[in-house]
Every structure is written in structure tokens, then in C-alpha cells.
Chains A and B, each alone.
Chain A
Amino acid sequence: MDTSMGKLSRRMRKWTADILDLPQDVAYDLPRMIMIGDRQLYIENHRGVIHFSSEQLRLKLSKGELEVNGMDLIIRTIWTEEVFIEGRITSVNLKDGEGKR
């Protein structure tokens, strides 16, 4: 989706988002994460599971990859765009250029 987006359309989107004061995740199709301490993590806008073990979960994003490290990880529930993880989370890494939220 994002790959097919031209430079112009990307600028248009940024301009619209600035004018309308839209949240960035809506504007750029970015993942949104809600983390409760080290025990719960709620991620929106993922693009599928790449790897899952009790120590690590790697999720595909619209751009790049999200890596969740921890112990005893469980996917409580998973839908096509959302995932709810429980366990003892030690780190959340975003790969491929995007910054950590």
C-alpha cells in the first residue's frame, strides 16, 4: 500500500494531516501501541506474524518490522490488524528506520 504511494501523494497526506490535525497513525498507516507496564501490549495496524515464540514475537508492519522481546509471551487475542500480547515484556524494537513510540 505504502510502496505504491508516490512522493506527491505522500506530501499531500502530510499536508492534510497537518491541516486537519490528524493523529500520525491514521495519516501514515503506522502501528499504534498501548503498553501497560511490562505485562500487556496492545498493537494496532500490524500486517501479520513473522515469528512467535515464548521469548520473542516479530510482527510485520506496513513499513518494517516490530520485535517484542520478553518471557512467557502469549498472544491473548489476535485479529487481522490488532494483536494483544501478555507476558513479561523486556523490550520493544522497531526495525527499518522508524522511531520508537
Chain B
Amino acid sequence: MNEGWLPRLRGIVTVRLRGGAQEELVNDCLKDGLALWSIRRTSPEEMEFAVQVPDFFRLKPYLKRTGCRIHVTRRRGLPFWLRKAAKRKFFAAGIVLFFATMFLLSSLVWTIEVRGTERIKQEDLLAAAKAEGVYPFQWSWKLPEPSLLAAKLSARLPDAAWIGVEKKGTRIIFQVVESKRPDAAKLNSPRHIIASSDAVVTRIIADKGRPVVRVNTKVKKGQTLISGTIGEPPNTATVVADGEVRGLVWHEYAIVSPLSIQTHVYTGESKTKWSVVLFGRALQVSGFGANPFAQSQTQEKLENLGWRGLRLPAGRLKETVMETRVEEKTLTREEAVQAGIERAKADLMSKAGADAVVKEQKILHEKTDNGKVYMKVLLEVDQSIVKEMPLVQMQGE
């Protein structure tokens, strides 16, 4: 029978009753509030019932009055279990030790996990955490408050914008958000800004350093434009001169431009070849035979089989062989000159930079000979004329 936890805690004794007025005993006990249960006759003279241990000790006067004798047949519940445990000392100690060990081990910090670090080294974070008292095999109850710990760690690691501390069982998780920093400025040695070529200055803005020339000054190649030395003679300092200087520069080009140009044009005739492609190898299936055209261009088009964005290693290859023909086109002198100048300008842009502007162009000399136009062109270009010259410090002073 299920008695519930309280009687079990107090201990339950099953008692066998012999002789005397047994019903009387039951009635007397009930009247005084002793709880008896599971009362049964085992034989005409004997009765058995269960009683709680505290009530069992109160039975004696009733037994005396009714002339019954008792004999304990069964003991259950915590007090008896404890007595048994006391006999099996090592077993009981083992149980206690097991739970104690379990508790102690689970209150250790076993692992520390760091998430979200890219620039900050994990070792740095772990070292900072160690300094704050968070390291593997530390007792959890010694850990500082997570919010407090997060604030302290943030103070120790200036590169971290935010640090979140979370404790999950025996695991500590640091969630780090790194602060974004501008790239460090490139280190430069002190320098002057000098002219990269002969020019007339059209614009000069010194970000750092002392401008030496003014707008509309004619400068020679190598002349200082922005000086890296600042201050009056006894108290000078050298800086990294920096700024924007633009000037008009003249470029002379000798151009040879043909009066006729050859172009390839399609005749419209074509031939198609098909191939099957498997694992990067093509097997031709149609369009066999030699190339029937004297001059031709081939266009290839590969179509891969795919399924939902997945590329399969199979497909087909279409090759179109198209016949071409050379056509000669005769240019007028003006057209040839224009084409030559365009080419010269394109070359100039690649040399002087994309922000260069052609201000003026002059054809100095022009001659048509052997189907070609020979000419000399002067291009006046507004471009950057900045060149850096490192300042060599006098050593040993």
C-alpha cells in the first residue's frame, strides 16, 4: 500500500498482535488519535496492522490495559533505511561523495568560449578575463557578476565596442563586437613636392608644407613646389609635404597615321559544329569536315546542364565558324589626322592620369607620303605635376 511521503519519513512499523482484547485496543488507539491502518487477521488469534514509528512508542499503555502482546514483523521508511546505511558506511559515503563531487565539478568553469573576434586576439581576451578572475577550473561562485565583468573587460580591451558575458552551465561565452577603426595613416618620411615636368602652375593647394610657387608661375622639372621645411631658419622642422599641384604641360607627339585601314567583315556564310561536353571533355557529334572558308572566325558557346542553380558536369558546345573577308577602307586626310590625334590623346591619358584635361592641340607639321600622314602634334594638357622628393636629414649633428 502507498502511504505517502510523511509516514515514510517517520518510518512505518508492521506489528503482529497476540492475545488480549484486540478490538478494544484498536478502538482505544483511535480514540486517542493514533493512526492504524492495513489491519488484518492473520489467524483467529492474531491481528496485524501498520503504525507510524512515533505512534508505535505510544502503544505501550494500551497494550498493558488490553493485555495484548506485540511483535514487530516489518520495518520500513527513512529511519530504518538510515540505520541500514549506517551499517554500510562505505556505500553511504560513496553516495554522498558522488553527489558532492558532482556538485563541485558542475560548479567549476570548464570552458571559455570567445565569439565574434577578428582583430582582437583570443589570448588577449582570455588574459584580460583571467585578470578579472575568469579562467578554466575557476569556481563559478567566485565569478563576478556578468554585467560587471562585461564592463571591466570592455575597459581592458579598448578595441572591443561591446562584450557580452553569458554563463551556460559550466561554459562561459564571451560575445565580442569589435569597434571599427579607420585605417592607420601611411607612414611617410619628410619630403618636398617637386615638379614632375616643366609646366605653368594653374592650381596649387598645400595640405601640408609651405607652398613655394604661385599660380601662373613657370616651373622647371624638379623645382620645389611645396616645401617640406617649415618655420624660420633657426627653428625649422621638416614635415611630409602634401597637396595638389596642377599645371599646363606641353607634350609633343610624332604621329604616323595610314590613309587606308583594313577591316575584317563577315560574309554571312557560316558552318555549325555541335559537341557534347562531359566532365570538361568535348566530343564532336556534327559538322565534321575541313574548314571550307579561306578566312574565318569561330564563335564558341557552351551550354551547361543545370538544375536549381546546381551546375552539372554535362552540356553541349556550339561552334559557329563564320567566313570573313578583308575590306579595305580609304580615309580622307582629315579622318586620318583625327584618328592619329585620338590615338595620341589616349596614350597621353594613360601617362598623365585620368584627371588630365587637354586644353589645346596644335598640329605643328604635316606631310602625306606613301599613303600615310606624318605629323607633329603639340598637346597642351592641364595635369597633376606632383612628384615626391624625400628630404634627407643631416645625421650626426
Contact = CB atoms under 8 A, between A and B. Distances in A.
A79 B30 contact: yes
Contact of A78 (B1, B22, B37, B44): B37
Tell me whether chain B's interface is mostly helix, strand or loop, or mixed.
mixed
By size class, the interface of chain A is 10 to 19
B47 to A, nearest CB: 7
A4 interface: no
Interface in B13-62: 22-23, 26-27, 30-31, 33, 35-41, 44, 47, 49
A51 B23 contact: yes
Tell me whether chain A's interface is mostly helix, strand or loop, or mixed.
strand
Nearest to B28: A48
B37 A49 contact: no
Nearest to A72: B40
Nearest to B42: A54
B23 A78 contact: no
B31 A53 contact: no
Interface in A62-82: 73-80
A49 B26 contact: yes
Interface in B71-128: none
Interface residues of B, number: 18
Contacts of B27: 48-49
A76 B44 contact: no
B40 A54 contact: yes
Contacts of B49: 75
Interface in A30-55: 48-54
Interface of A: 48-54, 73-80
Q: List the 5 closest A-B pairs by CB distance, nearest first.
A: A75-B39, A48-B27, A54-B41, A74-B40, A77-B37
